[in-house]
Amino acid sequence: MHIFYSPVAEVTPEASASPLLWGGAALASVKQLAARENSIWDDLVLWTAQGILFQLLTAILHLQNLEIIAERGQLYTMSIELS
């Protein structure tokens, strides 16, 4: 299963520092999906607002870690590969 999520078309770390970026239905749907997949991500790719690519292959990341990354305002686009 592959998920692609882009919360905002134009965003900067300063503008997206609020956890509201991941509020409401978007966060709820991610949590529901994580529950079905035991809250473990096998492949996570994060782009920051500056366009820098961070790739963690075969990493085990729990939903709590994902929320922390988003709250720091560094999340621009997220691509998740679930095995």
Q: What pLDDT, on a 0 to 100 scale, did the predictor assign at position 61? A: 42
> What percentage of the chain carries pLDDT values higher than 90?
0
Q: How confident is the model at residue 35 (pLDDT cuts 50, 70, 90)?
A: low
Q: How confident is the model at residue 20 (pLDDT cuts 50, 70, 90)?
A: very low
Looking at every residue in the chain, the average pLDDT score rounds to 43
DSSP 10-73: S--TTTT-SGGGG-HHHHHHHHHHHHHTTT-EEEEEEE-TT--EEEEEEEEE-HHHHHHHHHTT
Q: How confident is the model at residue 17 (pLDDT cuts 50, 70, 90)?
A: very low
